[in-house]
Amino acid sequence: MFWKKKLLHYQLDQQPSLDTPLRDLSFTVFDTETTGFAVGGKDRVIEIGAVQVEGLLVTDNRFQTYVNPERNIPPEITKLTGIAQHHVENAPNSVEAIESLFQFIEKTRSGGWVGHYLSFDVMVLRKELQRAKFTFEQPLYIDTLDMLGYLCPSWDMRDLEQYARSFGTNIYERHSAIGDALTTAHLFVELLRLLEDRGKTTLADLVQVTDANNRNRVLQF
C-alpha cells in the first residue's frame, strides 16, 4: 500500500505578475550544508541559511539554523564546513528546521527562491520532508548558474567564490549555509543589474533567460 505525502501549507512565493520590474521584486536566497552528497540515502542536512533580497539590495533579514542529522557528521565534513557534532546535537530536526525556513519565507512575502546550484538544495529539502511523508508546492525559483549561462555563455563551470571574485561581489564564509547564501545574494544582485543593462527588466525577462520549467509555471498564474 502506497503512503500519501502530506502537503505543508505555506505561501512560499507571492506569485508576482510577469510584468513586475526586477527592482520591485523580493527573493529568498538560501543554501544548505549536508553530511555528504547522497541526500537520497544516508546523508542529511546539517545547516540551512537564507537572506532576503529586495529592490536589488541584500537586506539584513536573515535566517540560519543548524539541523540535527540524527547521525554522525563525517570528519571531512566538519573540516570543510566547521560544523561539528556539538553544533547539531540540540538543534531542531529536519522537519522543524524546514518549517522554520518556510515560516521565514512566508513572513518576508518572498517572490521566489534563489540559489547557486539551487536544484541540489531543493532536493535536500524534498528528501528530508519525504522521510517524514511531507511535501510542498514548489515556488518560482531562479538559479544563478542559469543567469551566468545567459550572461557568460563561453565560461566554464566555476566555484561560487570564483564567480563572486570575477564580478567583484562580496564573499562570506565558505561552506557555511548562511555564508554561501550571503555570497550568492550579492552575486545575484549584480547579475540582476547586468540583466537590466541588457534590457531585461521584468520578471518575464528573468524567467525567459533562466528556466523553462519556471516559464511554464509562471505562465499558468
Q: Are 119 and 147 in contact (CB under 8 A)?
A: no
- The x, y and z cell numbers of residue 184, run together, are 550568492
Distance from C-alpha of 22 to C-alpha of 183, rounded to nearest angstrom: 20
Q: Are 217 and 73 in contact (CB under 8 A)?
A: no
| Torsion, Cα of 81, 82, 85, 88 (10° steps) | -70
Residue 45, SS3 per DSSP: strand
Distance from C-alpha of 57 to C-alpha of 59, rounded to nearest angstrom: 6
Per-residue pLDDT of the chain (221 residues; tens, 9 = 90+): 345 679 898 999 999 999 999 999 999 999 999 999 999 999 999 999 999 999 999 999 999 999 999 999 999 999 999 999 999 999 999 999 999 999 999 999 999 999 999 999 999 999 999 999 999 998 999 999 999 999 998 888 789 999 999 999 999 999 999 999 999 999 999 999 999 999 999 999 999 999 754 444 433 43
Distance from C-alpha of 194 to C-alpha of 144, rounded to nearest angstrom: 13
Q: What is the pTM of this model?
A: 0.93
Q: Are strands 113-115 and 134-135 parallel, antiparallel or unpaired?
A: unpaired
DSSP states of 131-157 as a string? HTTEE-----EEEHHHHHHHH-TTPPP
